[in-house]
Amino acid sequence: MRDIHHFVNGQALIGKSGRFGDVFNPNTGEVQARVQFATDAEMALAVQSAATAQIGWAATNPQRRARVMFEFKRLLEANMTEMAELLSSEHGKVIADSKGDIQRGLEVIEFACGIPHLLKGEYTEGAGPGIDVYSMRQPLGVVAGITPFNFPAMIPMWMFGIAIATGNTFILKPSERDPSLPVRLAELFMEAGAPAGVLNVVHGDKTAVDAILHHPTIKAVSFVGSSDIAQYVYSTGTANGKRVQAMGGAKNHGIILPDADLDQAVKDLVGAAYGSAGERCMALPVVVPVGKKTADDLRERLLEEIETLQIGVSSDVNAHYGPVVSAGHRDKIASYIQMGVDEGAELVVDGRGFALQGFEKGFFIGPTLFDQVKPSMRSYQEEIFGPVLQILRAESFEEALSYPSDHQYGNGVAIFTRNGRAAREFAARVEVGMVGINVPIPVPVAYHSFGGWKRSAFGDTNQHGAEGVRFYTKVKTITARWPEGAVEDSAFVIPTMK
């Protein structure tokens, strides 16, 4: 049985806790490896390594740090296929989707290559008599990231790319379900020229999370996961004096106005709802058609499109999506489907019981479609995180606008229409953090920032882009005077610029 070790101070660290987590092959249902769970002492060792490395790394000029990022980008591109296969073997998403996972993380690394410009401060000459004022951005020190199973490449790179480029050192606690690729990323980062200790990977469960949240040397924590845990991470981390950004769950809506290009919208909806088996916080699991005719036409076309979907093993180039990450998660999705039935929603397509010939023990679940969903239903109010699409009918634009605005989550939303005025009004009024206009999965590009509202995000700073630079740095403002001639009397009042 292969053991997956921690990566600390530039090399593998063999854990001594005696505690492990099983890493499955979702295609076959078989255990393929064990991942070690860290002790508090092992976490402390990683933090010490990061703290030691941070002194020299922060003193390295931004251009030289950018060169490491450029070389890391080159290595990511050169090893793309190998990494995608490794990712798919533990997560279950198809290879093309895994490459997309890596590519979206790589784009943040590309953004981080511009760090010399991004770190420039502000300067005012002559703010007062002989007085200049300027500011600088400085790293926080040792920072940490706690990342989920669904994007084991993209989300770690969202975090450590900018954190390290700005002069911090990083502790990554990835998901224990697919931990191999994060270790591979750390190895490649070392190969790119980063000093030992700049990027450390420590595996574990809640024990490791709590060790991060309570360690006094760690100055900031970035988290992506479920909302309940996000709230716990935020409240615990801030109580311990840390800067925290914690991204939670989602229930994204797709609004279909009567004038939408329905052919294109249906293809977009099916891809956004069922791609990666629905295991995306930016998936689109709720569609809100406006008007009975729109809803009836949409339902008919969705059924036709769903029938064309192919579910297969992650290495199948013809598969639209593969298995979900674990048997427990598959069963949880199935329980939500039953919940929808019990609540009175119409189960149009039932994905339960799907089995792939030759891979009957794999963690597969077929595409599922509900109609006649009501906003009072728990299956609508909560995040399912699987290949389940719910039709929630609306009679008017205002009703459709209210559903995502009133929902407990506010991560993403999309509207499909040819009417620019309606789209503009919707984007301005909807109470959601990220909006797509005829774009089903509105994840911003790397030089903008990612973040939701309400219970989809805790903290005031978003992921990557300029927001990421602000999160991982602190501002120092200097007011300087170089007097000439006689020494002035001491001032006993607050200085002004009169």
Say whether 113 is catalytic.
no
Rounded Cα distance between 363 and 334, Å, is: 11
Residue type, 74: R
Q: Is 199:189 a contact under the CB 8 Å cutoff?
A: yes
With residue 370 as reference, give the H or E element that holds it. strand 368-371
- Dihedral angle, C-alpha 165, 166, 172, 178, nearest 10 °: -40
With residue 497 as reference, give the H or E element that holds it. none
Rounded Cα distance between 306 and 292, Å, is: 21
Phi, psi of 361 (to 5 degrees): -95, 0
Sheet of 169-173, strands arranged across: 11-13, 6-8, 199-201, 169-173, 142-146, 218-224, 243-247, 457-458
Rounded Cα distance between 182 and 198, Å, is: 14
Q: Determine which one of 66, 112, 281, 295 is catalytic.
A: 281
Query: C-alpha distances in angstroms, 397 versus 202, 248, 295, 320, 405?
Result: 48, 28, 13, 32, 12
Q: Which of 473, 22, 471, 7 is nearest to 247 (CA)?
A: 471
Residue type, 411: N
Residue type, 271: G
User: 180-191 and 154-165 helices cross at what angle (nearest 10)?
Assistant: 30
Rounded Cα distance between 6 and 203, Å, is: 6
Rounded Cα distance between 280 and 278, Å, is: 6
Phi-psi region of 464 (alpha: psi -120 to 50; beta: other; left: phi over 0): left
Catalytic residues: 281
